[in-house]
């Protein structure tokens, strides 16, 4: 494999290949069946459409934000106009942030590994990236030299693919350090919904720090809504970046139908749907581990992860080799090299599986993986 290890494309290109397979365990979008409570909301879509036609967008947007943030413990989110910018997806929010940063900032310290389109969008806007390994990020204070050399620290929490969560104590310290150095602190919390350890009120901590901060929130990973979703760019009053102007360069707003749907899914989540989801993902994770445990050289690098993805470590094959073998069975996972955007070789021996899938096709996919790994 050696030379060709890097030739598989970025993660989204790999996810695209998987879209038409019934054994798509590649992307992190939610593709499990609707719960009965969620099906009821989909049955009500004509009513939500009528509501979207009749009511003021401002009201629907306010209600969607309130329901979403409340369901995830984010009570101190800013409610002033323009401080929560609703986008078609979190990647659109990320593009807006990247463009805004590029007007005044030259380099960004970015968590390593993480979803590669974050690095690609920052680089695509001319920003230099400095890798921030998860060990130091979750350990002591950040190096003062690093903070003096960058304009922004960007952290994904819970991280994709590792599931690591920045604790309240760590966020408090990180925000204080960013405030002291005048560095923007940016968080991508797209996987927040899966992990109650990420449900402490981040906005309370950020507001109290005095830091310039941005948070990208996302409804897109949580509910199987056929990619009808909202990404939100939330920012501090003192951010000092032209995010609202750049937002208006790109979009007017998201559909009121989607906002009304997000409100209903959030209410359902708060009324027990989130606990059901956590149980569902935990059961799928337990199934994956049970099927693969005992295979020689196979490890689970993220024992504490609650995110809707699971990494598998494979000692004597590369993730790309296993990915290619799985494709022959019409099963599509993700080799992890691209997550390691600064040094892909660090991801050579890991594969990522999506857990937000109906249990049957997921089980069949994992059995195919077990078969491939047993053939070594
Ligand atoms: C952490 C993280 N942020 C952002 C995105 C982009 O999400 P979307 O494709 O909905 O724009 C992803 C996609 O998987 C992700 O994992």
Closest by alpha carbon to 141, among 182, 172, 114, 183? Answer: 172
Whether 284 lines ligand 1, by a CB cut-off of 6 Å, is no
Q: What is the mean pLDDT of the chain?
A: 96
Q: Fold for domain 36-267?
A: 3.40.640
Task: Please indicate whether residue 247, judged by its CB atom, sits closer than 6 Å to ligand 1.
Answer: no
The pLDDT of 217-229, averaged and rounded, is 97
Give the residue-averaged pLDDT of 128-149: 94
CATH, domain range 2-35+272-374: 3.90.1150.10
Mean pLDDT of 136-165: 96
Encode pLDDT of 280-329 as tens digits.
999 999 999 999 999 999 999 999 999 999 999 999 999 999 999 999 99
pLDDT of 30: 96
pLDDT at 45: 98
Quick one: tokens of 250? 């790109």
Pocket flag, ligand 1, residue 51 (CB < 6 Å):
no
pLDDT, mean of residues 346-367: 98
Virtual torsion, Cα 113, 116, 122, 124, nearest 10 deg: 140
At residue 4, the pLDDT reads 47
Residue 140 confidence (pLDDT)? 87
pLDDT at 193 over 50: yes
Shortest-distance Cα residue to atom 15 of ligand 1: 115
For the chain, the domains span: 2-35+272-374, 36-267
Q: Given the DSSP bridges, would you call strands 107-112 and 128-133 parallel, antiparallel or unpaired?
A: parallel
27 Cα: distance to centroid of ligand 1 (angstroms): 9
Please tell me if the CB atom of residue 350 comes closer than 6 angstroms to any atom of ligand 1. no
Which is more confident, 1 or 231? 231
- Give the model's confidence band at 3: pLDDT under 50 very low, under 70 low, under 90 confident, else very high: very low
Assess whether pLDDT exceeds 70 at residue 6.
Answer: no
- pLDDT average, residue stretch 224-228: 97
pLDDT band at 2 (very low <50, low <70, confident <90, very high): very low
pLDDT (0 to 100) of residue 347: 97
Confidence of residue 7 (pLDDT cuts 50, 70, 90): low
pLDDT tens digits, 104-127: 999 999 999 999 999 999 999 999
CB distance 28 to ligand 1 below 6 Å:
yes
> Ligand 1, residues 190, 214, 232, 305: which to mutate, most atoms within 8 A of Cβ?
190
Secondary structure of residue 166 in the 3-state scheme: coil
Q: What is the per-residue pLDDT across 236-281, written as a single tens digit (0 to 9) for each?
A: 999 999 999 999 999 999 999 999 999 999 999 999 999 999 999 9
Using pLDDT thresholds of 50, 70 and 90, give the confidence band for residue 72.
very high
pLDDT at 337 over 50: yes
What is the C-alpha separation between 347 and 349, in angstroms, rounded?
6
> Can you give the pLDDT at residue 86?
98
In short, whether 188's Cβ falls inside 6 Å of ligand 1 is yes
């Amino acid at each position: 494999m050696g030379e060709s290890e890097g030739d598989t494309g970025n993660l989204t290109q790999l996810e695209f290949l998987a879209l038409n397979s019934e054994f798509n365990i590649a992307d992190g979008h939610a593709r499990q069946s609707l719960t009965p409570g969620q099906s009821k909301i989909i049955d009500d879509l004509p009513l939500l459409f009528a509501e979207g036609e009749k009511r003021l967008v401002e009201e629907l947007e306010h209600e969607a934000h309130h329901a979403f943030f409340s369901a995830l413990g984010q009570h101190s989110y800013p409610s002033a106009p323009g401080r929560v910018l609703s986008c078609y997806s979190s990647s659109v929010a990320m593009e807006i942030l990247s463009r805004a940063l590029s007007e005044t900032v030259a380099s960004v310290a970015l968590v390593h590994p993480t979803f590669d389109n974050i690095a690609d969008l920052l680089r695509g806007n001319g920003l230099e990236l400095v890798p921030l390994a998860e060990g130091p990020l979750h350990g002591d204070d950040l190096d003062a030299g690093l903070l003096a050399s960058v304009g922004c620290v960007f952290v994904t929490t819970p991280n994709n693919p590792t599931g690591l969560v920045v604790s309240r104590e760590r966020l408090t310290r990180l925000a204080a350090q960013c405030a002291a150095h005048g560095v923007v602190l940016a968080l991508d919390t797209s996987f927040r919904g899966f992990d109650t350890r990420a449900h402490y009120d981040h906005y309370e901590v950020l507001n109290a720090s005095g830091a310039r901060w941005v948070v990208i929130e996302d409804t897109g990973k949580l509910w199987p809504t056929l990619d009808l979703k909202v990404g939100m760019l939330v920012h501090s009053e003192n951010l000092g970046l032209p995010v609202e102007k750049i937002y208006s360069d790109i979009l007017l707003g998201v559909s009121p139908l989607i906002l009304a749907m997000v409100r209903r899914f959030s209410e359902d989540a708060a009324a027990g749907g989130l606990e059901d989801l956590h149980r569902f993902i935990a059961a799928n994770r337990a199934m994956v581990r049970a099927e693969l445990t005992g295979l020689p050289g196979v490890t689970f690098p993220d024992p504490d992860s609650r995110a809707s993805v699971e990494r598998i470590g494979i000692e004597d094959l590369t993730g790309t080799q296993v990915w290619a073998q799985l494709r022959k069975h019409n099963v599509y996972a993700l080799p992890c090299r691209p997550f390691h955007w600064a040094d892909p070789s660090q991801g050579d021996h890991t594969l990522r599986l999506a857990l937000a899938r109906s249990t049957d096709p997921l089980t069949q996919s994992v059995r195919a993986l077990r078969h491939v790994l047993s053939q070594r």
